[in-house]
Amino acid sequence: MRQVAVVVLAAGQGTRMKSDLHKVLHPIAGRPMLLHLLASAAELAPARTVVVAGARREQIEAVVDPMGIDVAVQEPQQGTGHAVQQSQGALAGFDGDVLILYGDVPLVRAETMRAMLDRLRADDAPAVVVLGFEPRDTLRYGRVVAQGGLIEKMVEHKDATEAERAVRLCNSGLMAVRAADLFALLARVGNANAASEYYLVDIVNIANADGRKCAVITCAEGEVAGINSRAELAGVEADWQAARRAEVMADGATLIAPETVWFAWDTRVGRDVLLEPNIFFGPGVTLADHATIRASSHLEGATVGEGAEVGPFARLRPGAVLGEKSKVGNFVEVKKTTIGAGAKANHLTYLGDAEVGAGANVGAGTITCNYDGFFKYKTEIGAGAFVGSNSALVAPVTIGPGAIVAAGSVITADVAPDALAVARGKQESKSGWAKGFRTMMAGRKKS
């Protein structure tokens, strides 16, 4: 089996995005589109991966350098063929198969990439394999004129005749080529076309002219959807979300209003999970079996245990871990906090940098005061403890197991297990004061 190299073209200006962020770094489901593509390509275990960048290449380098991926520079941008040529240095000495992908076509499946390579390695050994598709609207795509899976001609839309524009099979731009052929064919590509650019597709026509076969395989339109604008980004996001919702329901979760639930690329959902309307998942969320997420909740970087309940109107931030059958209720925010099995924080509470023991109850309006403007500190609430409403727990502080904090307390020192802590001003009552106050103020108002 020959080795595989992956070349990802990402040198376009992306002017239609109207953004300071490189086009291929705009997220789909909370993950940059380039990383969606590279993750699929990584399933092929490529020997080398090269991203060809141009404008704002430093943004791409910051993302892929830690992954050990090479960045080649295309400057100026003179077409797709010219872009692939810039990877030649990074692929020096490589003699396997080269898979050419596009950073703004992020949802190509690894299975499709494998199918391209399998066709390239077939007994009839085509020189080039092209990935084609039949879109609903063919107007802007290059055409693939083919018979029996073999390509007769490829032509860009702007250079096509009326007869060629009537062809439904279009070019996605993705190709598989043996390294030994790729750069030799590219060296013969000219720029005598409407845009004066060096087209990658011309290697097919050159190979055909040499009497060599070139093949096309096809995929669904959605898999090769390109993203050049914010509207197209939103369209691909919508398609991705619709597919993910269907998968989650097929795997045994209930979505009451599926179109209002938004998943991240790595959201993990167990069986018999209930998701109410208007829920947003950021990256890094895991929901165990039988969990319930009630309406209008926002979760990211959180783990929700089996049978636990969140919301409505709750926010779980990174580091939130909810134990089995625990509960976080309405208008509760949890950050970097572990809530033990069966523990509850039902109303209007902030729990940050804390540990809440099993069976503990945190009353409405409680705040862990975890930040002094410079550093973060931890609050520990023991198993079975009860924290009364409107309490402020000034970290670092420990509430012992079984302890009770009286409502309205400001706790600045540790509370022993099973103790009662009361930390509030002493109440005074002045008989008749309120009546006299009202009489005085009414007189002032008349005058």
Do 291 and 329 sit in the same domain of this protein? yes
Do 267 and 312 sit in the same domain of this protein? yes
For 336-369, write each residue's pLDDT tens digit: 999 999 999 999 999 999 999 999 999 999 999 9
Do 321 and 388 sit in the same domain of this protein? yes
In a domain, 315, yes or no: yes
Which DSSP letter does residue 56 get? Answer: B
What's the one-letter identity of residue 208?
N
For 446, residues 6+ apart whose C-beta sits below 8 A from its C-beta are none
**Among 239, 313, 235, 299, which residue's Cα sits nearest to residue 267?**
299
* Distance, CA of 207 to CA of 214 (rounded, Å): 7
Do 281 and 383 sit in the same domain of this protein? yes
- Structural domain including 355 reads 252-421
In a domain, 352, yes or no: yes
* Distance, CA of 28 to CA of 37 (rounded, Å): 11
In a domain, 244, yes or no: no
For 447, residues 6+ apart whose C-beta sits below 8 A from its C-beta are none
In a domain, 247, yes or no: no
Do 155 and 109 sit in the same domain of this protein? yes
* Distance, CA of 421 to CA of 103 (rounded, Å): 59
Do 417 and 291 sit in the same domain of this protein? yes
In a domain, 239, yes or no: no
Q: How far is CA 384 from the centre of its chain?
A: 38
Do 67 and 210 sit in the same domain of this protein? yes
Q: Quick one: pLDDT at residue 159?
A: 85
* Distance, CA of 439 to CA of 99 (rounded, Å): 87
Q: Quick one: pLDDT at residue 410?
A: 97
* Distance, CA of 237 to CA of 229 (rounded, Å): 12
Q: Quick one: pLDDT at residue 343?
A: 98
In a domain, 440, yes or no: no
From the first residue on, what is the mean pLDDT of each consecutive set of 10 residues in the chain (447 residues)? 95 91 97 98 98 95 96 94 97 97 97 98 95 91 94 89 94 96 96 88 94 97 95 97 98 98 98 98 98 98 98 98 98 98 98 98 98 96 98 98 98 98 93 95 90
* Distance, CA of 334 to CA of 180 (rounded, Å): 56
In a domain, 49, yes or no: yes
Do 256 and 220 sit in the same domain of this protein? no
Do 47 and 192 sit in the same domain of this protein? yes
- Assessment of whether the complete model's pTM goes beyond 0.85: yes
To the query of whether residue 347 is one of the catalytic residues in this protein, the response is yes
Looking at 185, 206, 224, the residue that finishes a domain is: 224
In a domain, 287, yes or no: yes
Q: Quick one: pLDDT at residue 14?
A: 87
Looking at 206, 224, 242, the residue that finishes a domain is: 224
Do 56 and 99 sit in the same domain of this protein? yes
Which CATH number fits the domain that encloses residue 387? 2.160.10.10
Q: Quick one: pLDDT at residue 13?
A: 83
Q: Quick one: pLDDT at residue 313?
A: 98
Do 97 and 149 sit in the same domain of this protein? yes
* Distance, CA of 154 to CA of 162 (rounded, Å): 14
Q: Quick one: pLDDT at residue 129?
A: 98
How many domains does the chain divide into?
2
* Distance, CA of 135 to CA of 126 (rounded, Å): 25
Do 97 and 182 sit in the same domain of this protein? yes
Both structure tokens of 447: 């005058």
* Distance, CA of 402 to CA of 111 (rounded, Å): 56
Which CATH number fits the domain that encloses residue 11? 3.90.550.10
Q: Quick one: pLDDT at residue 156?
A: 85
Which DSSP letter does residue 437 get? Answer: H
